[in-house]
A = this chain, B = another copy of it.
Amino acid sequence: MAATMEQVAKLAGVSLKTVSRVVNGEENVSPETKVKVLRVISQVEFVPNVAARRLSSGRAMTIGIVLGWALSSTYSSSLVEFILAECKSHGYNLTIYSMGNDLTNNVVQAFLGKHVDGIILDTIGGEDADLRDQLDSMHVPYLIVNPNSMEGIDRISYVTIDDFNGGKTAVNYLINLGHRSIGCILGVSERIQNKDRLRGYRKALADADIPFKKSLVYLDEPSDFSLGYSGVLRLISNNNDMTAIFCYNDEVAMGVMSAIWQSGRKIPDDISVIGFDDIRYAAMMIPPLTTIRQPIDQIAKYAVNNLMRLIEDPDTKRLHDVLPIDLIVRDTCRPRVK
């Protein structure tokens, strides 16, 4: 059933190497022999054995992605989906590694065991420090998506988005709608994403000559539904003039909207809300969420393409990309009326 190159060679009356040339689209094969070989290939349904190919070539044709978040988080699964498609178009396979017990070991072994040629890291915080050290010392080609810190980042390749501008654009949009008392709910960690989005928030305020008020900023962990839920209740009780809120991400915004709804207020009538990410469910919220879109498809494209370059040419310099964000206007923000 599963034919080998040798059988194809015999049937076509050529050498093994000639079949190999045809299969891999190499040059230096006369048109006639090519046709002859191709006919046999389709006749016997020949498909090259990947294991043999990997063993002899020394390349796994596979990259690994290390996830710090659950795959079932919408952001992760969407990123993985795009990365998968991009890998496929390069003839590469993708293997997924989730943070957890013994991750560093697993990933290092995967490289030593020739499971993968390179790694994409999409982690949360400092928990991957060990892993990065190992990858560095073993000279494994790797690249970070949305690095959490800029410390020592010059030595590492990464793809990220313009978080500062994301925060600024969101808050600027609210200011243009007439809002002046604007809440902000973020994670408290040292992640650069939090810092940069907060910088963006402050910059937009400063540009509009609106003084920064500490009581309008709520910081806690983790940045999920519950952060938004408890955060907005706190902000409301401390700021009765607040008319809008900038949220760290769409899931936080979900929590914010839930709490506002349950407190008897209305969105956007009483409070405007803006999120970040533009996950699949943003458009399905009630009402549909205005948000800052991350170009996940582009992030995936840059991540995979750059990693391929690092794999194929070890002398490649560090590759750094910062991708632009977009404001997606839906129905959760409206001009201030009070």
Partner-B contacts on A (CB < 8 A): 1-2, 45, 47-52, 54-55, 60, 70-74, 76-78, 80-81, 84-85, 93-96, 98, 109, 112-115, 138, 225, 251, 254-255, 257-258, 261-262, 280-281, 284-287
Contact = CB atoms under 8 A, between A and B. Distances in A.
Q: Which of A51, A80, A81 has the most CB of B within 10 A?
A: A51
Contacts of A81: 70-72, 98
Contacts of A255: 284
A74 B72 contact: yes
B286 A49 contact: no
Contact of A284 (B49, B54, B225): B225
Contact of A286 (B96, B112, B281, B286): B286
A78 B74 CA distance: 10
Nearest to A79: B72
Contact of A54 (B51, B71, B98, B138): B51
B84 A71 contact: yes
B55 A84 contact: no
Contact of A49 (B50, B55, B251, B254): B55
Q: Copy number in this complex?
A: 2
B262 A51 contact: no
A45 B112 contact: yes
Nearest to A100: B85
A130 B296 CA distance: 33
Contact of A47 (B52, B77, B113, B280): B113
Nearest to A138: B1
Given A50-B113, A258-B286, 14 more contacts: A45-B112, A47-B109, A48-B113, A49-B55, A49-B114, A51-B114, A55-B55, A71-B84, A72-B77, A254-B284, A255-B284, A258-B284, A258-B285, A261-B286
A19 to B, nearest CB: 15
A138 B96 CA distance: 28
A71 B75 CA distance: 11
A84 B60 contact: no
Given A49-B113, A51-B51, A60-B51, A95 B98 contact: no
Given A80-B71, A84-B71, A258-B286, A114 B280 contact: no
A98 to B, nearest CB: 7
A115 to B, nearest CB: 5
Contacts of A115: 50, 93
Contacts of A114: 2, 49-51
Contacts of A261: 286
Nearest to A114: B49
Contact of A72 (B93, B280, B287): B280
